[in-house]
């Protein structure tokens, strides 16, 4: 909810919050799990991470 609040009225705020929540919920299995994560589980997580990186880049880089 802090991310969404920080993004304010940006159109990506809701999707960014959802992406971050999903990444955080998968963290335990990915980081501490005893089995490898499958490609089917990893691909959507990578897409969510990419979404957040692109959003962050858009926030910190001025538009010319």
Q: What is the pTM of this model?
A: 0.76
Neighbours of 7 (CB within 10 A): 17
- 52 token code pair: 């957040």
Q: What is the pLDDT of residues 8-44, one digit of tens each?
A: 888 888 889 999 999 999 888 888 888 888 899 999 9
The pair of structure tokens assigned to 11 is: 């159109």
Kindly provide the residue ranges of all beta strands, DSSP E only, lying in the chain, ordered along the sequence: none
Helix (H) / strand (E) element for 39: namely helix 39-60
- Number of residues that make up the chain: 64
Note whether 48 and 23 are within 8 A (CB): yes
pLDDT at 64 over 80: no
């Amino acid at each position: 909810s802090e991310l969404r609040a920080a993004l304010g009225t940006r159109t990506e705020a809701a999707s960014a919050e959802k992406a971050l929540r999903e990444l955080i919920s998968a963290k335990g299995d990915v980081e501490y799990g005893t089995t490898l994560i499958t490609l089917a589980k990893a691909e959507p997580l990578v897409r969510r991470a990419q979404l957040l990186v692109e959003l962050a880049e858009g926030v910190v880089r001025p538009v010319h």
